[in-house]
Copies of this chain bind each other. A is one copy, B any other.
Amino acid sequence: MRENKSYYAILGLLSIGPQSGYDLKRTIEQSLGHFWTESFGQIYPVLKKLVDEGLAAVSSEPQTGKRDRIAYSITEAGREMLHDWLLKPITKLPPEKNELLLKLYFGHNLNVEDNLRHVEDFYAKLLQTRDIYTMISREAGPSPHPHRPDYEIMTLQFGQKVVEAIIEWCEETRAELLTYIEKD
């Protein structure tokens, strides 16, 4: 069983429907974006290997007047490998490298105002992220399969929960830092 999870991310998307490499990049940004990324430098080599190993198949539909539309689709063997991986327990918690916390931890090297600025910048980005989540959840209509769990919404709710928590942390930390800033 392959270790590199890029294979499963791509197989998983192909399990929903055929796509080109270019499509995959955008799909990943739009639907897995808040918990996964892949670059072209990964996508294309992975697609090639998937085809070599019979886990995906490539088909080019002729278009009228346009360049052929290339689409990769998952094979039965691909579905099987995806299924096996999905069943396997999760190996490790995410590495969680957080640049803000790294800077803040060493905050004693700066004055309070500069640390506060970092927190506020971060806060502003989080508010944007929250808005994006809100828009996505509004756009998402009712579940296409009402009798099945809506897994996509669940991953979105994860992002929303975490963002709300960090927003709260920013607000509390900001208030705490403000008490250390000299009033004139």
Contact = CB atoms under 8 A, between A and B. Distances in A.
Number of copies of chain A assembled together: 2
A165 B161 contact: yes
Given A158-B166, A166-B161, A100 B110 contact: no
Contact of A5 (B9, B79, B99, B164): B99
A83 B129 CA distance: 29
A151 B35 CA distance: 27
Given A36-B101, A90-B121, A96-B94, A109 B149 contact: no
A72 B92 CA distance: 32
A131 interface: no
Interface of A: 5, 8-9, 12, 15, 31-32, 34-37, 79, 82-83, 85-87, 89-110, 112, 114-115, 118, 121-122, 125, 129, 147-149, 151-152, 154-155, 157-158, 161-162, 164-166, 168-169, 172-173, 176-177, 180
